[in-house]
């Protein structure tokens, strides 16, 4: 079955710098890749997602890139701000698995002032 | 207001005492799911439901039961809780009968089994 690995587990960056979180997946048939953000004590919320028919998607300061050949996808956050501090989860899914999401273990992003 | 609600939010119980965590959504979503979140392990799916009367096992179903008698409700049942079920539990729902769209999470239920 699908396996999703997420790195790093903790990432500390200076405010204003960029942050990159990477996930690799094992099932080449996976075709949907969302990213969720979970602030301390809160519920996970979708921040961006990408389907396998595109290589990149942007939404203001966040972007996701997908490399289907290498089976990895990455979250890019530019001009980081204190409110970006949170745990970020990636996930992967395929249409013929009842769309079951397989989640990465999460990355704790710390923005240093 | 569109939302997913869970009750209770916090629960401390003893080994073997049956409990139910309720989940309800008011968005008319077909897809509902239960996750547990443990440090370093991320979110692991327990059970999910594609629609009323349709449920299926996720990655860690042992020790749990679910039912989907109504579209809006998806309770999680622990018939005989054990300490290894101490965790943070999230219910989630999604439209279009799949998880291929945004999943809306409930606020979480922190369960401690002693």
In the predicted structure, residue A112 carries a pLDDT above the cut 90: yes
**What average pLDDT does the segment B35-39 reach?**
94
Q: What is the model's pLDDT at position B97?
A: 56
DSSP state at residue A26: S
Match 């997420």 to its residue by tokens.
Answer: A6
Partners of A93 on chain B (C-beta within 8 Å) are 99-100
Q: What is the model's pLDDT at position A42?
A: 95
CB contact under 8 A, B42 and A6: yes
Partners of A6 on chain B (C-beta within 8 Å) are 42
3-state secondary structure of A62: strand
What's the CA gap between A58 and A60, in Å, rounded? 6
- Ranges assigned E (strand) in chain B: 4-7, 10-13, 19-25, 31-38, 42-51, 54-57, 65-66, 76-78, 87-94, 104-105, 109-113
Q: In the structure, what pLDDT confidence band is assigned to residue A97 with cuts at 50, 70 and 90?
A: low
**What average pLDDT does the segment B69-91 reach?**
97
Average pLDDT, chain B: 93
In total, chain A counts a number of residues equal to 113
- Do residues B103 and B94 make contact, with C-beta atoms less than 8 angstroms apart? yes
Residues sharing a CB contact under 8 Å with residue A7, sequence separation 6 or more, in sequence order? A21, A22, A23, A107
- Which contacts qualify for B64-71: CB closer than 8 Å, 24 or more apart? B64/B34, B66/B34, B68/B32, B71/B28, B71/B29, B71/B30
Contact with chain B for residue A89, Cβ under 8 A: yes
Residues sharing a CB contact under 8 Å with residue B39, sequence separation 6 or more, in sequence order? none
């Amino acid at each position: 079955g699908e396996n999703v690995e997420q790195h790093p587990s903790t990432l500390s960056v200076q405010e204003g710098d960029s942050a990159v979180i990477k996930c690799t997946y094992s099932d080449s048939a996976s075709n949907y890749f969302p990213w969720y953000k979970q602030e301390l004590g809160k519920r996970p919320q979708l921040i961006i997602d990408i389907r396998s028919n595109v290589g990149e998607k942007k939404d203001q300061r966040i972007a996701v890139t997908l490399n289907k050949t290498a089976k990895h996808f990455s979250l890019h956050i530019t001009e980081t701000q204190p409110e970006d501090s949170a745990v970020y989860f990636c996930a992967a899914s395929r249409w013929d698995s009842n769309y079951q999401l397989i989640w990465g273990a999460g990355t704790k992003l710390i923005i240093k002032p | 207001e569109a939302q997913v609600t869970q009750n209770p939010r916090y629960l401390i119980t003893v080994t073997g005492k049956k409990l139910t965590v309720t989940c309800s959504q008011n968005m008319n979503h077909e897809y509902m799911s239960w996750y547990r979140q443990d440090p370093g392990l991320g979110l692991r799916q327990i059970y999910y439901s594609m629609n009323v009367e349709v449920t299926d096992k996720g990655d860690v179903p042992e020790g749990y039961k679910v039912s989907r008698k109504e579209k809006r409700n998806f309770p999680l049942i622990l018939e005989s809780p054990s300490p290894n079920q101490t965790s943070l539990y999230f219910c989630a729902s999604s439209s279009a009968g799949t998880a291929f769209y945004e999943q809306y999470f409930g606020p979480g239920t922190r369960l401690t089994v002693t």
